[in-house]
Structures are given as C-alpha cells and as structure tokens.
Amino acid sequence: MIVEILKQEDVSRVDDALLRSYLDCSLQRLPDGFDYFEHVGEFGYFCIITEGIDLMGESIALSHWTLPSMREESFWERVELVEVQDNRGNDDVVEILVGVDTDVTVSLIMRESILDEGFMWRIKGFIYEE
C-alpha cells in the first residue's frame, strides 16, 4: 500500500509506528515557518510505502505523478538522495528522494525489509560511508 501524505489526516493513516515516527521527524526537519500541508505538491510530498510490490509494477502511480518502477533504470536516474535510518540491527527505514519535475521531489519512505537485496545494493550506491 502507498499512503500519500497530502493532507493532515493522511498522517493518521500510517499504521506502522516506526514509519510514522520517521515521517513525523521528516515533517519537523522542514524549514521553520514552512507549512507542508499548505504547499503540498508544489515542491513535492511524502509517500509511505508498506509493501514492496507497490514499487515493482510497471510504474508507481501517485496522485500527482507517475514514477517508473524501481526495476527500471530511469527510476534510479531520478534518485536525488537516499537516507537510511539505522535502527541498530532492527528493520531500518529507507527514504528515497525522487525527482519528478524541476524543483519537485517525491520522498518514498519504507522499511528496508520490503526491498530485495538487489534494490538494497542500488540504494547503498547512493550512500556515502566514511
């Protein structure tokens, strides 16, 4: 399932406590005074992904845009940033920021466990480790 965070009520649709906590932190990291829900879609928005199958189809259909499948090279060409929240051996949270238009990105937030090893290998290629 894909939960697009387009209005305040959508936050309550995120049942997974770990993903909801990560989303709350992401919303708090936005610039001071920026009202995400007033400007949703102008610069992008957050999506919570709970099942890997949602990323593997022909495309990833969202309300405002359609992204290529993660199986397609064109998806990876659009990736601008990847962040992995290390939960000390527990299921990590992965956030993939995907460019959809000039200055517009969609943030895909998911548990690492829904991704297969091939995708994790691709994701780790975006992460700089010291």
pLDDT in tens, 29-73: 888 888 888 888 788 899 999 998 888 888 999 988 899 999 999
Q: What is the distance between the alpha carbons of residues 98 and 106, in angstroms, rounded to a whole number?
A: 5
pLDDT score for 88: 62
pLDDT score for 90: 64
Q: Note whether 10 and 3 are within 8 A (CB).
A: yes
pLDDT score for 121: 82
Q: What is the distance between the alpha carbons of residues 101 and 79, in angstroms, rounded to a whole number?
A: 12
pLDDT score for 130: 41
Task: Give the start-to-end residue ranges of the domains of the chain.
Answer: 2-124
